[in-house]
Structure 1
């Protein structure tokens, strides 16, 4: 169990690592928007760390409950230590309370039970809570109008999360999780749906192909939304989309049969995208 959970305190948010793709991608934003994104990132990292902590479930549920209380207090006018970094950005960027609470709801799905082969409907709810919720906050920081912000968040959040699911198959299986949808697994001929059995099954490529197809659909829809916006407003989400779509395409070419070499966002590839979307 982490020292934070042992102490019973809300996890202290941390900034993105200077060399991370997120840090580099947000560097193209103006200072005020960049700092707001770093604050949102720190919140997401804090609650995600709680969900992935190996400690007892009740302790992690309590830690998430404290975050929920801190967010509620923030919107009631009380700034607590955990929300100090977020507080200056709530009003200027019209950050909605539900975006933060939805993210906590998603983390609670991971804490209450290890997700294994959910149906598509449950997986979509999960993607909305852990990814599109962040997109709804982020798109307002970028400067999109509300309707377009929500539509972009819907599609880009799901595309990024499905890409993450495909990329992290082995890491998730190691902690007893499997996010591939039950319907896709059964169509691929699988009956035993434990993480180890699924990842060893010869039909894994077929099952993963459904997620690749759906992710590409969401990337295409996100592109459609971004094409209707001023380039300066969508530079950061275009950079994220380019980096993650490259990962998806390379995984699709590699295939998903074991052994799977991990596909990463190469620094040179990211730099090229950064230059393109920062100055294009």
Structure 2
């Protein structure tokens, strides 16, 4: 791997750690509980990865012109390249990635994949994709994050990449199924074209699709694909270090809870699914100590 820009002067490093920790803490994400159980250096590295992911995702989700959003994503690409060319990046959150990249030998292509995945949501965005496009989207916005994460968890093996790739798809498809109505409100439709057509839904208008009488059957079929990825991830995880994969196990448990709630509702897209904080803590405790 090429050298990475050093930004580890003590005062600067402390400030960067504080920056990413606060970014993660105020996100309210389920991932926070999975990350908290990790040893300090690994936890700080994961905070930096998560802060990066939230930052590029927020660029897309916040109001603004498409050209400006793509410009800002381009700045992130430039900063990722700078890190791997031993140059100091411009963005503070990019600088926070320097130490994790060095410590855990993180590949540049996975960072770039995350940015590319976010860019897929600019402009018209992802609307009624074919299955290969949906697979690519899931790989970029979810699996790439998993591939970075398992290198930080410890005891990195090829099977841990199988966990990352299958769990990433399972979690992202669960997000898609949970957020059909919320996504429709902002003009997005991630349900694949072939499943929509199979159930007689021909519209490309997200709100029309979300309200279609056959929508639950489409979600059921996509849910079966997600179920397969959950099973593959669980099988791969059994071949990995149980201690190292605890954060992945926590996320698996939390998302299985969402998945099972969707299934119990017969796959009808919900207006909202809320996982109580106590449930998140229970998942973290269960997989952190047993």
Q: Would you say same fold, with TM above 0.5? A: yes
1:200 aligns with 2:211: yes
C-alpha contact 1:202 1:257 (8 A) present in aligned 2: no
The CA distance in 2 between the partners of 1:194 and 1:188, in whole Å, is 16
Would you say the 8 A contact 2:181–2:271 is kept in 1?
Answer: no
Query: Helix, strand or coil for the counterpart of 2:80?
Result: helix
CA contact (8 A) 2:160 2:237 kept: no
Task: Find the residue that maps to 1:91 and give its secondary structure.
Answer: helix
Q: Distance in 2 between matches of 1:162 and 1:62?
A: 28
Q: Residue 120 of structure 2: SS of its match in structure 1? A: helix
Aligned position for 1:187: 198
- The CA distance in 1 between the partners of 2:123 and 2:108, in whole Å, is 23
SS of residue matched to 1:180: coil
Instruction: Identify the residue that residue 289 of structure 2 maps to in structure 1.
Output: 279
Query: 1:94 offset after TM fit, Å?
Result: 1.0
- The answer for the alignment partner of 1:77 in structure 2 is 86
Q: Secondary structure at the match of 2:122?
A: helix
After superposition, residues 8-47 of structure 1 pair within 5 angstroms as 15-17=23-25, 19-47=28-56
CA offsets 1:43-88 (integer angstroms, 9 cap, x no match): 0001001111221100001000010000000010112242221111
Residue 272 (structure 2) pairs with residue 262 (structure 1): yes
Question: For 1:222, which of 218, 222, 233 is the aligned residue?
Answer: 233
Q: Which residue in the other structure is 1:86 paired with?
A: 97
Matched, 1:57 2:66: yes
Counterparts of 1:245 and 1:216, CA distance in 2: 9
Q: Alignment partner of 2:163: what SS? A: helix
User: Quick one: distance in 2 between partners of 1:261 and 1:57?
Assistant: 28
Distance in 2 between residues matched to 1:32 and 1:164, nearest whole Å: 29
Q: What residue ranges of structure 1 are gaps of 5+ in the alignment? A: 1-11
When structure 1 is superposed on structure 2, of 88-97 and 111-120 the one drifting more is 111-120
CA contact 2:180–2:189 (8 Å) conserved in 1: yes
Q: Specify every segment of 5 or more residues in structure 2 that has no aligned partner in the other structure, as ranges.
A: 1-18
Aligned equivalent of 1:243: 254
SS for the counterpart of 2:203 is coil
Tell whether the 8 Å contact from 2:220 to 2:267 is kept in structure 1 after alignment. Answer: no
Structure 1 SS opposite 2:38: coil
Q: List structure 1 runs of 4+ shifted beyond 4 angstroms.
A: none
The DSSP-based 3-state class of the residue aligned with 1:16 is helix
**Structure 1 segment 90-105 matched on structure 2, within 5 A:** 90-105=101-116
Please give the secondary structure, in 1, of the residue aligned with 2:177: helix
C-alpha distance in structure 1 between counterparts of 2:23 and 2:257, whole Å:
25
Question: Higher mean Cα deviation, 25-34 or 267-276?
Answer: 267-276
Q: Tell me whether 103-112 or 239-248 shows the greater mean CA deviation.
A: 103-112
Q: State the distance in 2 between where 1:249 and 1:256 align.
A: 10
TM-score (norm 2): 0.88
Measure how far apart 1:206 and its partner are.
0.6
- Alpha-carbon RMSD across the aligned residues, in angstroms, is 1.6
> Do the aligned residues in 1 keep the contact of 2:155 with 2:241 (CA within 8 Å)?
no
The answer on whether the counterparts of 2:160 and 2:240 sit within 8 Å (CA) in structure 1 is no
